[in-house]
Amino acid sequence: MKMVVLIVLGVLIARTVCHTITLLDVPRWADPRVEAELRCFYAKQPLDPPLHSVKWYRGTHEIFRYTPQEYESRAFNTSGVSVTNSSCDGAACAVSVRPEPGTAKYTCEVSSEGPRFAVDRRSTNMTLAVLPEYDPLITGLPTYVNAGEQALVNCTSDHSLPAAMLDWFVDSEPQEDPVITGVTHVSGADGDGLRASWRTLHVYPDDYATHRGFLALECRATLPTRPPNVRSMAVRLYVESRPHISSPMLSKTSKSSATRLRCVCVLWTLMLLARRRVPLLVQ
Ligand SMILES: *[C@@H]1O[C@H](CO)[C@@H](O)[C@H](O)[C@H]1NC(C)=O
Ligand SMILES: *[C@@H]1O[C@H](CO)[C@@H](O)[C@H](O)[C@H]1NC(C)=O
Ligand SMILES: *[C@@H]1O[C@H](CO)[C@@H](O)[C@H](O)[C@H]1NC(C)=O
Ligand SMILES: *[C@@H]1O[C@H](CO)[C@@H](O)[C@H](O)[C@H]1NC(C)=O
């Protein structure tokens, strides 16, 4: 019984003598064009001793130390990475670093005042992203597509680290490919570990009631840096309004869609005729 009480007391004391790190916020992928901000948040229980120090490490090198009792923040310049800015207080400590190529492990270590100088630490990796050199490229765009038929377009993003995620938009609305499950395909890594990606989209003009002779297609390539690196390419897919009734079944075949197609065809024909008439009337 005494043992149990001691253990419970021990656990309670161990739990209450030390600041605990509540969040280590380091970008997984750092944008090479900007400094990365690393943030460490910690909390103090009512019975904890005051904060003694907050240290940041890159690998095993200490790069920064904040000691609130001495009102001091120090950057160490030994590992080649210099801290360019910092902002620390009793609840959080943020440092800015210019990231180096490759992957580095960053550690935040928080210690409380004596007698125990108890320490809590957390680590995470940050990798310098390699941005694609070019905008994504849309290929396979036909000169025009007949209503009732489909177009297959392909978007390719240049090599990057990590591989870009691709998203398709038609008239600004995000799209899933109705034929192929809409995922970004990623190539194998090249010598530098970079990967290209591609994603297709089958476009059925029938699915978009509002097109004005064309559909605006956009492919967006996103790298999950902070903030995200986004590049895009936009093209117009011209839609021939007079459908070829003889080959309507390239569309998703079902009786209802065939019926819908016929209705839409009639509508378009009427609209086309109406549009043709207008200039005549004006003249
Ligand atoms: C760190 O060292 C580099 C050269 O090694 C120097 O250019 C830079 O100013 C130093 N930074 C600080 C904060 O001392
Ligand atoms: C340094 O950080 C502070 C607080 O995060 C920010 O207000 C300030 O603009 C930063 N200075 C530079 C030179 O980045
Ligand atoms: C960090 O990267 C190293 C090597 O680059 C790897 O061994 C380790 O498992 C990574 N750690 C985490 C938490 O991803
Ligand atoms: C899309 O383009 C990539 C190359 O950029 C190619 O590897 C892939 O096979 C193409 N996909 C289709 C379905 O044509």
pLDDT tens for each residue of 185-213: 999 999 989 999 999 999 998 888 765 78
Cα 147 from chain centroid? 35
Q: What is the pLDDT of residue 115?
A: 81
CA 117 to chain centroid: 39
Q: Closest ligand 3 atom to the C-alpha of 105?
A: 1
Q: Which pLDDT does position 242 carry in this prediction?
A: 64
Signed CA dihedral, 182, 188, 191, 193: sign only: positive
**224 in any annotated domain:** yes
CA atoms of 210 and 206, how far apart (whole Å): 9
The amino acid at 211? H
Compare 261 and 124 and report the one with higher pLDDT.
124
Task: Give distance in angstroms: CA of 99 to centre of ligand 1.
Answer: 14
- Pairing of β 29-30 and β 119-128: parallel
Q: Are residues 113 and 154 in the same domain?
A: no
Domain boundary among 128, 145, 175: 128
Alpha-carbon separation of residue 265 from 157, 246, 258, 275 (angstroms): 36, 12, 10, 15
Q: H helices within the chain, ranges in order?
A: 2-16, 255-282
Report yes or no on 283 lying in a domain.
Answer: no
**C-alpha to C-alpha distances, 218 to 65, 72, 147, 150, 174, nearest whole angstrom:** 47, 51, 20, 17, 9
Q: Is 87 in the pocket of ligand 3 (CB under 6 A)?
A: no
The model carries a pTM of 0.74
Give the mutation target among 85, 87, 95, 98 for probing the ligand 2 site: most ligand atoms within 8 A of CB. 85
The set of protein residues with a Cβ atom below 6 angstroms from ligand 1 is 75, 77, 82
Domain around 115: 2-128
Query: Would you say residue 280 lies in a domain?
Result: no
Could you report the per-residue pLDDT of 119-166, keeping only the tens digit for each?
999 999 999 999 999 999 999 999 999 888 999 999 999 999 999 999
First-to-last alpha carbon distance for the chain, in angstroms, is 104
Q: Among 85, 105, 128, identify where a domain stops.
A: 128
E strands, 51-102, are 51-58, 61-67, 72-75, 83-88, 92-97
How high is the pLDDT of residue 71?
Answer: 82
Distance CA 277, CA 274 (A): 5
User: For residues 96 and 73, what is the distance between their CA atoms, to the nearest angstrom?
Assistant: 13
State the pLDDT at residue 78: 72
Q: How many domains does the chain have?
A: 2
CA–CA distance, 250 with 9 (Å, rounded to integer): 74
Query: Can you tell me the distance from the alpha carbon of 16 to that of 112, in angstroms, rounded to the nearest whole number?
Result: 11
Question: Percentage of the chain with pLDDT > 90?
Answer: 59
Burial, 145: exposed, middle or buried (Cβ in 10 Å; 0-12, 13-18, 19+)? buried
Identify the top-confidence range among 60-64, 112-116, 251-255.
Answer: 60-64
Task: Please tell me whether residues 173 and 205 are part of one structural domain.
Answer: yes
Q: How far is the CA of 85 from the centre of ligand 2 (A)?
A: 6
Alpha carbon distance 58, 214 (integer Å): 53
- The pLDDT mean for the chain works out to 82
The CATH number given to whatever domain includes residue 96 is: 2.60.40.10
Q: Is residue 281 assigned to a domain?
A: no
Taking the CA of residue 84 as reference, the ligand 1 atom at the shortest distance is 13
Q: What is the pLDDT of residues 23-51, one digit of tens each?
A: 999 999 999 999 999 999 999 888 778 99
Q: Which band of pLDDT confidence, cut at 50, 70 and 90, is reported for residue 18?
A: confident
Which of 5-9, 47-51, 180-184 bottoms out in mean pLDDT, i.e. has the lowest?
A: 5-9
Structure tokens, 78: 């030994």
- Ligand 1 center to residue 228 CA distance, Å? 29
User: Mean per-residue pLDDT for 83-94?
Assistant: 96
Judged against a pLDDT cut of 50, whether residue 21 lies above it is answered with: yes
